[in-house]
Each structure stands twice: as C-alpha cells, then as structure tokens.
Amino acid sequence: MVVAGIDIGSRTTCALIMKGGKIIASEMIFTGADSEAAARRAMEGAIAKANLSVQAVDHIMATGYGRIRVSFADEVVSEISCHARGAHWFFPGVRTVLDMGGQDCKAIRVDEEGNPADFVMNDKCAAGTGRFLEVMAETLRLPLEEIGPLSLESDRPATINSFCTVFAKAEIPILIREGVPKKDILAGLHRALVVRIFNLLKKVGIRKEFVITGGIARNVGVVRVIEEKIGFPALIPEDPQIVGALGAAILARENETPW
C-alpha cells in the first residue's frame, strides 16, 4: 500500500510518501501565498523522488494550517494527531511532544499508542513561534540558521523584558546601542521564548520521553535552553520538519487498511 501525508504550514509545506509502512520519499518547499499550489508542488516532488505516479497512491491525508485547501486530498486531519503519531513513529516511548511551528506552538500529551491525550496551543500571538525568531533574526541582520549556534557562545544572556514580538523587537536596537553583543541578545531572546513555551508545557505535563518537532527543533540554542529548563535531554527526530506529514501518512494508511 502506498499512502501520502501532506503538512501545509504557514512557512513550509511537506509531502511524504510511505510504502509498506516505510518512508520512501519526502519533499519540503516554502508555502508562499497559495497553499493549494504548494501542496501540489510538494506532492509532485515527493512522487518524483519515489519514482511513482499519482495513480499509485492509495490514500492522501492532509494536515496543517492549509489542510482545508488541499482539494486533491482524500481526508484532512488535525496536526495535533499527526505530530503525536509521527513522534510516536520515531520514538515509541514518547509521552510529551512540543511542536514549534512558524505560526503556532503546541504542547501535546501522548498516550501509549501515539494518540493525543491532551494538548494546549499558542496560536494567538507570534511569541513562542518560529515567526518570533524570524523577526529577531531580521532585526539583528543575521541568517536564521546562524542564530542558534551563535547564542551558544554567550555566557551573559541579555535580559529581555517582554515576551511580545513587537516589544522585544523594539528592545533590540536599544541593547545594540548599549554595546550588548549579538550573541548575548540572542541568548536572552531564546530564554524569553522558552519561558512562553514552558508555560504551555506545564499545562499538559512534561514527561519522558520528550520530543521536539517542527522547524525550531533545528535551533540548537532554543533546544539547549528547553533542556536546561526541563532538566533532561529532549529527543529530536532525524528530520523534525517531516513529523506532521509522516503522522498524516500513518493515519492515511490506517484509514485505508481494511479491518
């Protein structure tokens, strides 16, 4: 059986193909303004990598921010279920998942079978999301991929007085004028971000095994601060950005399998 999962996020879209319960291909692209078009391009890319045709795919499940716009999907499903199931595929003992995406942040408690038992999410404010870090990187005129490693060089994190993206952005020029190094500003911003994230995690309970998914999982600075806060190591999937699409594909396979 061949199934596909498509995760349409605010910043990136991922399509993933599974055959016989194994990942055989995936494609990640920027979403842009047209979620439907992004989903099609990602799907076409994944199918080409898998050396298959669209007709060979038995079931397509869409998830994420733009899931309702994927007209060619057989079904849609919440990203909460997908990240829980995808994290469980990588780490069967997972009990808590933190998904840090571009537009929202989700804390999910997971049961023994990889189903969400409880969740909370921050989707009303950019603080605690990838967009927060994008804005800060732009303000500091640094590539996004450099801010995590650079923050680890700091031994004197700056004090950031606001969790709000707008106010935190306004603090940065003041700190720069005061001569605070960028590495210390970044370390302070990461700590401010994690305070917001930690408040979400406390609402569902932080249990081992603890898995981080989403694009921010690639930011080693944020991961380090989270680990310091919770007191034990986090587990990071080999590719944390495919977890939502993987979970969608797993659910597609389960829905297509006759019982």
**How do residues 226-247 score in pLDDT, each as one tens digit?**
999 999 999 999 999 999 999 9
Task: Flag the least confident range among 11-15, 81-85, 159-163, 174-178.
Answer: 159-163
User: pLDDT tens-digit profile of 192-225?
Assistant: 889 888 988 999 999 999 999 998 899 999 999 9
**Looking at residue 259, what is its pLDDT?**
40
What is the C-alpha to C-alpha distance for residues 36 and 78, in angstroms, rounded to an integer?
Answer: 17
Does this chain's domain 1-91+238-259 share its CATH topology with 92-236?
Answer: yes
> Phi then psi for 234, rounded to 5 degrees?
-90, 155
b/e burial code for range 208-221 (CB count within 10 A of at least 16 → b): ebbbbbbbbbbbeb
Residue with the larger pLDDT of the pair 221 and 103: 221
Give the pLDDT band of residue 126 (cuts 50, 70, 90).
low
- The per-residue pLDDT of the chain, averaged, comes to 91
Report how far residue 8's alpha carbon sits from residue 204's, in angstroms, rounded to the nearest whole number: 25
Of 72-86, 162-176, 241-255, the one with minimum mean pLDDT is 162-176
Contact 220, 55 (CB under 8 A): no
Q: What is the CATH number of domain 1-91+238-259?
A: 3.30.420.40
In single-letter form, the type of residue at position 210 comes to: F
pLDDT value for 128: 60
C-alpha neighbours within 13 Å on the C-beta side of residue 154: 25
Alpha carbons 16 and 220: distance in angstroms, whole number: 25
Q: Domain 92-236 - what CATH class?
A: alpha beta
What percent of the chain stands above pLDDT 70?
94
Average pLDDT, integer, range 68-97: 95
pLDDT the model gives residue 124: 60
Among residues 90, 94, 60, 93, which one has the least CA distance to residue 77? 60
Strands 96-100 and 22-30: unpaired
Q: Give the tens place of pLDDT for each residue, 127-142.
A: 566 778 888 899 999 9
More confidently predicted of 114 and 103: 114
Residue type (1 letter), 139: T
Domain boundaries, the chain: 1-91+238-259, 92-236
**pTM score of the predicted model:** 0.90
**Over 80: is that where the pLDDT of 125 sits?**
no
pLDDT digits (tens, 9 = 90+) for 36-77: 999 999 999 999 999 999 899 999 999 998 898 899 999 999
